[in-house]
Structure 1
Amino acid sequence: MAGEFIDEIDELEVEHRDFATVVAGLDADSAHFEAQMRKLLDDLAVHVEREDPGIFPVSVVTLGASGWDTVDRAHAESPSFLLDASEEAQPPQ
Protein backbone atom coordinates (compact mmCIF):
# COMPACT_ATOMS: atom_id res chain seq x y z
CA MET A 1 0.00 0.00 0.00
CA ALA A 2 2.76 2.51 0.95
CA GLY A 3 4.52 1.89 -2.36
CA GLU A 4 1.52 3.30 -4.17
CA PHE A 5 2.32 6.71 -2.71
CA ILE A 6 6.05 6.92 -3.49
CA ASP A 7 5.59 9.27 -6.47
CA GLU A 8 3.31 11.53 -4.46
CA ILE A 9 5.77 11.60 -1.56
CA ASP A 10 8.64 12.40 -3.92
CA GLU A 11 6.65 15.30 -5.39
CA LEU A 12 5.78 16.62 -1.95
CA GLU A 13 9.43 16.45 -0.89
CA VAL A 14 10.42 18.44 -3.97
CA GLU A 15 7.81 21.01 -3.04
CA HIS A 16 9.28 21.23 0.48
CA ARG A 17 12.69 22.02 -1.01
CA ASP A 18 11.12 24.53 -3.41
CA PHE A 19 9.36 26.26 -0.51
CA ALA A 20 12.67 26.50 1.34
CA THR A 21 14.22 28.18 -1.69
CA VAL A 22 11.32 30.61 -2.05
CA VAL A 23 11.37 31.52 1.65
CA ALA A 24 15.14 32.05 1.57
CA GLY A 25 14.74 34.39 -1.41
CA LEU A 26 12.03 36.59 0.05
CA ASP A 27 12.92 40.25 0.41
CA ALA A 28 10.49 42.24 2.51
CA ASP A 29 11.75 45.44 0.88
CA SER A 30 10.99 44.22 -2.63
CA ALA A 31 8.17 45.81 -4.59
CA HIS A 32 7.02 42.26 -5.37
CA PHE A 33 7.03 41.01 -1.78
CA GLU A 34 3.26 41.06 -1.32
CA ALA A 35 2.65 39.18 -4.57
CA GLN A 36 5.37 36.67 -3.70
CA MET A 37 3.81 36.08 -0.28
CA ARG A 38 0.35 35.60 -1.76
CA LYS A 39 1.72 33.04 -4.23
CA LEU A 40 3.67 31.28 -1.49
CA LEU A 41 0.59 31.07 0.73
CA ASP A 42 -1.56 29.85 -2.16
CA ASP A 43 1.04 27.20 -3.05
CA LEU A 44 1.32 26.13 0.60
CA ALA A 45 -2.47 25.80 0.85
CA VAL A 46 -2.51 23.49 -2.18
CA HIS A 47 0.42 21.53 -0.77
CA VAL A 48 -1.21 21.08 2.64
CA GLU A 49 -4.45 20.02 0.99
CA ARG A 50 -2.53 17.24 -0.78
CA GLU A 51 -0.84 16.09 2.44
CA ASP A 52 -3.70 16.27 4.93
CA PRO A 53 -6.35 14.02 3.35
CA GLY A 54 -3.90 11.74 1.54
CA ILE A 55 -0.41 11.21 2.87
CA PHE A 56 -1.02 11.76 6.59
CA PRO A 57 -3.88 9.23 6.97
CA VAL A 58 -1.92 6.65 4.97
CA SER A 59 1.10 7.29 7.19
CA VAL A 60 -0.88 6.65 10.34
CA VAL A 61 -2.03 3.29 9.01
CA THR A 62 1.19 2.08 7.36
CA LEU A 63 4.19 3.40 9.28
CA GLY A 64 3.99 1.37 12.46
CA ALA A 65 6.23 2.06 15.48
CA SER A 66 9.54 1.71 13.65
CA GLY A 67 8.34 3.99 10.87
CA TRP A 68 7.46 6.72 13.34
CA ASP A 69 10.92 6.35 14.90
CA THR A 70 12.34 7.08 11.45
CA VAL A 71 10.07 10.13 11.13
CA ASP A 72 11.19 11.36 14.56
CA ARG A 73 14.88 11.01 13.63
CA ALA A 74 14.35 12.83 10.32
CA HIS A 75 12.47 15.62 12.07
CA ALA A 76 15.24 15.96 14.66
CA GLU A 77 17.78 16.34 11.84
CA SER A 78 15.69 18.86 9.90
CA PRO A 79 12.79 20.23 11.95
CA SER A 80 11.55 22.77 9.44
CA PHE A 81 12.66 24.65 6.39
CA LEU A 82 11.32 27.75 8.15
CA LEU A 83 13.95 27.55 10.88
CA ASP A 84 17.43 28.93 10.50
CA ALA A 85 19.81 26.11 11.41
CA SER A 86 22.17 28.59 13.08
CA GLU A 87 19.33 29.68 15.37
CA GLU A 88 18.45 26.10 16.25
CA ALA A 89 21.90 25.53 17.70
CA GLN A 90 21.59 28.52 20.03
CA PRO A 91 20.22 27.81 23.51
CA PRO A 92 17.08 29.80 24.42
CA GLN A 93 17.75 32.90 26.49
Structure 2
Amino acid sequence: MEEEKSENIRIPIGKGFAGQIAANCTHMNIGDLSEVEVVSPILRNKGIRSILGVPIIVKKRAIGVLHIGTFNPRHFTEKETEILQIFANQIAYHFFY
Protein backbone atom coordinates (compact mmCIF):
# COMPACT_ATOMS: atom_id res chain seq x y z
CA MET A 1 0.00 0.00 0.00
CA GLU A 2 1.18 3.52 -0.71
CA GLU A 3 0.95 4.48 2.97
CA GLU A 4 3.29 1.63 3.94
CA LYS A 5 5.72 2.79 1.29
CA SER A 6 5.58 6.48 2.27
CA GLU A 7 5.91 5.67 5.99
CA ASN A 8 8.74 3.22 5.22
CA ILE A 9 6.98 0.31 6.96
CA ARG A 10 8.92 -2.91 6.49
CA ILE A 11 7.36 -6.26 7.30
CA PRO A 12 9.83 -8.78 8.79
CA ILE A 13 9.85 -12.27 7.27
CA GLY A 14 7.75 -14.54 9.47
CA LYS A 15 5.91 -11.71 11.26
CA GLY A 16 2.31 -10.71 10.64
CA PHE A 17 0.15 -11.53 7.66
CA ALA A 18 2.54 -10.76 4.80
CA GLY A 19 5.63 -11.91 6.67
CA GLN A 20 4.13 -15.36 7.26
CA ILE A 21 3.18 -15.68 3.58
CA ALA A 22 6.72 -14.76 2.55
CA ALA A 23 8.30 -17.12 5.09
CA ASN A 24 6.13 -20.10 4.16
CA CYS A 25 5.79 -19.38 0.41
CA THR A 26 2.10 -20.17 0.61
CA HIS A 27 -1.18 -18.26 0.50
CA MET A 28 -3.15 -17.03 3.49
CA ASN A 29 -6.90 -16.43 3.57
CA ILE A 30 -8.20 -14.47 6.57
CA GLY A 31 -11.93 -14.03 7.04
CA ASP A 32 -11.60 -11.70 10.04
CA LEU A 33 -8.47 -9.57 10.19
CA SER A 34 -9.05 -8.74 13.85
CA GLU A 35 -8.18 -12.34 14.76
CA VAL A 36 -4.60 -12.31 13.44
CA GLU A 37 -1.34 -10.46 14.02
CA VAL A 38 -0.84 -7.59 11.58
CA VAL A 39 2.48 -5.73 11.65
CA SER A 40 1.27 -2.70 9.70
CA PRO A 41 -1.62 -0.85 11.38
CA ILE A 42 -2.60 0.57 7.98
CA LEU A 43 -4.67 -2.49 7.03
CA ARG A 44 -6.86 -2.09 10.10
CA ASN A 45 -6.90 1.72 9.85
CA LYS A 46 -8.25 1.43 6.31
CA GLY A 47 -11.08 -0.76 7.57
CA ILE A 48 -10.00 -3.97 5.85
CA ARG A 49 -11.95 -6.89 7.35
CA SER A 50 -10.96 -9.87 5.19
CA ILE A 51 -7.75 -10.41 3.27
CA LEU A 52 -6.18 -12.88 0.87
CA GLY A 53 -2.47 -12.90 0.13
CA VAL A 54 -0.15 -14.95 -2.05
CA PRO A 55 3.64 -15.00 -2.39
CA ILE A 56 5.50 -13.52 -5.35
CA ILE A 57 8.11 -16.20 -5.95
CA VAL A 58 11.34 -15.79 -7.91
CA LYS A 59 13.85 -18.65 -8.11
CA LYS A 60 12.00 -20.61 -5.40
CA ARG A 61 12.15 -17.66 -2.97
CA ALA A 62 9.39 -15.25 -1.96
CA ILE A 63 10.42 -11.72 -2.84
CA GLY A 64 7.10 -10.12 -1.99
CA VAL A 65 3.41 -10.61 -1.31
CA LEU A 66 0.38 -9.69 -3.40
CA HIS A 67 -2.80 -9.22 -1.40
CA ILE A 68 -6.38 -8.10 -1.78
CA GLY A 69 -8.88 -7.18 0.90
CA THR A 70 -12.52 -6.35 1.49
CA PHE A 71 -14.33 -4.02 3.86
CA ASN A 72 -16.92 -6.71 4.59
CA PRO A 73 -16.11 -10.06 6.25
CA ARG A 74 -15.90 -12.97 3.84
CA HIS A 75 -13.84 -16.01 2.96
CA PHE A 76 -12.12 -15.95 -0.43
CA THR A 77 -12.70 -19.00 -2.61
CA GLU A 78 -10.11 -21.47 -3.86
CA LYS A 79 -10.68 -20.11 -7.38
CA GLU A 80 -9.99 -16.54 -6.21
CA THR A 81 -6.80 -17.77 -4.54
CA GLU A 82 -5.71 -19.49 -7.76
CA ILE A 83 -6.39 -16.35 -9.81
CA LEU A 84 -4.46 -14.11 -7.41
CA GLN A 85 -1.53 -16.55 -7.51
CA ILE A 86 -1.59 -16.42 -11.32
CA PHE A 87 -1.31 -12.61 -11.11
CA ALA A 88 1.58 -12.92 -8.65
CA ASN A 89 3.33 -15.40 -10.95
CA GLN A 90 2.92 -12.99 -13.87
CA ILE A 91 4.38 -10.14 -11.82
CA ALA A 92 7.38 -12.31 -10.95
CA TYR A 93 7.86 -13.41 -14.55
CA HIS A 94 7.56 -9.97 -16.15
CA PHE A 95 9.63 -8.05 -13.64
CA PHE A 96 12.25 -10.50 -12.46
CA TYR A 97 13.04 -12.95 -15.27
TM (norm. structure 2) is: 0.30
Which is helix-richer, 1 or 2? 1
Greater strand content: 2
The TM-score normalised by the length of structure 1 is 0.31
Q: Which has the larger radius of gyration?
A: 1
